[in-house]
Amino acid sequence: MTGESHNAEFAAYVAARSGWLRKVAYLLCADWHRADDLVQESITKLYVRWPRVRRVESVDAYARKVLVNTFLAEQRTSWWRRTDRAAVLADGALPPAGDLEAALDLQRALAALPPRQRATVVLRYYCDLSVDQTADALGCSPGNVKSQSARGLEALRRTLAPGRLAFSEGAARNG
């Protein structure tokens, strides 16, 4: 296959899957601008390896793994430690329909999880991966995925428990 056909095939893949990658990236970092940066960096890594990547069984799984690893690597940099994650707001990421307050509460609760727990919860429950697929994407054991999932879900339940929400009904009535 020629370089031009490789480029065309890669461009077609990116055009078809960039929206999905952006949604996953947003769920990982809770900031559309950072999500765009994560996707761009991941796409660049995919492009460099495209001749090999296009032959893997699941290009989506490979792309998702690159995205998650890029996100987790970013968490370890000194730049990340100097930024205020709590200051990141919704930035227009709300679903078009449904309970707006619940969506905001869930978004904040997800953003409050530690990076590995957040990545595990996103891969298991948004990307609908099995325990083994999630373990492969994160480069860890299935047992680690199970414990991270359990901890992440418990933290979400605690945060989203009635009376603990920033926009609970009582706060709305009293405000």
Mean pLDDT (the chain, rounded): 82
pTM of the model: 0.68
The third-level CATH classification (topology) of the domain covering 1-93 is: Rna Polymerase Sigma Factor; Chain: A (1.10.1740)
Residue ranges per domain, the chain? 1-93, 95-175
pLDDT in tens, 50-68: 999 989 999 999 999 999 9
Decide yes or no: CATH 1.10.10.10 for domain 95-175: yes
Best mean pLDDT range from 2-6, 29-33, 84-88: 29-33
Q: How distant, in Å, are the alpha carbons of 45, 79, 123, 146 from that of 132?
A: 24, 32, 11, 10
Contacts of 70 by beta carbon, 8 Å cutoff, 6+ apart: 38, 41, 42, 45
pLDDT in tens, 20-30: 999 999 999 98
Dist CA 45 CA 101 (whole Å): 37
